[in-house]
A and B are shown apart, each in its own frame.
Chain A
Amino acid sequence: NAGVTQTPKFQVLKTGQSMTLQCAQDMNHEYMSWYRQDPGMGLRLIHYSVGAGITDQGEVPNGYNVSRSTTEDFPLRLLSAAPSQTSVYFCASSIGFSGGTIYFGEGSWLTVV
């Protein structure tokens, strides 16, 4: 049981480049989400999904796209990377969206130069 798996773990991008952060979970969770963490701060929600085919914006969605074609996968796309998107990105999943345990991946460290 791998839990929540994120790839890549580290990435350096040039300004204007695009890339996709991958997230997969093997727990058959309906709810998945992406957060970013800037230095010394708590996590902020970028996008979330309550099931396959359903996605919605979080509190800081600008510059990011998501899709949910399967229950297992929830990729995050950076459309045109900017230095302000330098951050650590965490994917999370839970079986529901009320009181259940939320599991986080190990993070993807992204630097935009």
Chain B
Amino acid sequence: DAKTTQPTSMDCAEGRAANLPCNHSTISGNEYVYWYRQIHSQGPQYIIHGLKNNETNEMASLIITEDRKSSTLILPHATLRDTAVYYCIVRVTEYGNKLVFGAGTILRVKS
């Protein structure tokens, strides 16, 4: 019952912006979009989340389309340490507002 679709993998040059797309066409109006990343099966690391508006923090920016059916995570200046699996996640209202993980995107940052 994955609610998100992401590319399997992407490459990005070090120092350039990494733009990771995500489709979530069945998202409901009160369900948030979260982005996490995971490095070598460590605990998922929080990046950013949003509901309707675009969001920015010290790590990344999140751009959500007006119809909320897709979003893009932007890492403005990718470094080698940003190489990881990036998960676009919808927090659904079932099961106490659980996180629904998809398969994620493997981002490889190359020098």
Contacts and interface: CB of A to CB of B under 8 A. Distances in A.
Interface of A: 4, 31, 33, 35, 37, 40-45, 48, 50, 56-59, 88, 90, 92, 97-99, 101-107
Contact of B49 (A41, A90, A99): A99
Contact of A102 (B42, B51, B99, B103): B99
B43, B101, B104: which has the most chain A beta carbons within 10 Å?
A: B43
A50 B97 CA distance: 10
A48 B104 contact: no
A104 B44 contact: yes
Interface of B: 2, 32, 34, 36, 41-46, 49, 51, 87, 91, 95-99, 101-104
Given A101-B49, A103-B46, 9 more contacts: A40-B103, A41-B103, A42-B103, A48-B98, A56-B95, A58-B95, A90-B44, A97-B97, A99-B51
Nearest to B102: A42
Given A99-B51, A104-B44, A106-B43, A45 B103 contact: no
A48 B42 CA distance: 21
B96 A107 contact: no
A67 to B, nearest CB: 16
Contacts, number: 64
Main secondary structure of the interface of A (DSSP, over half): strand
Nearest to A97: B97
Contact of A59 (B97, B98, B104): B98
Q: Which of B32, B42, B45, B98 has the most CB of A within 10 A?
A: B98
Contacts of A97: 96-97
Contacts of A57: 95
A42 B102 CA distance: 6
A107 B39 CA distance: 12
A3 to B, nearest CB: 9
A59 B43 contact: no
B48 to A, nearest CB: 9
26 contacts: A4-B43, A31-B96, A31-B97, A33-B96, A33-B98, A35-B99, A41-B103, A42-B2, A42-B101, A42-B103, A43-B99, A43-B101, A50-B96, A56-B95, A57-B95, A58-B95, A58-B96, A59-B98, A97-B96, A97-B97, A99-B32, A102-B34, A102-B99, A105-B43, A106-B42, A106-B43
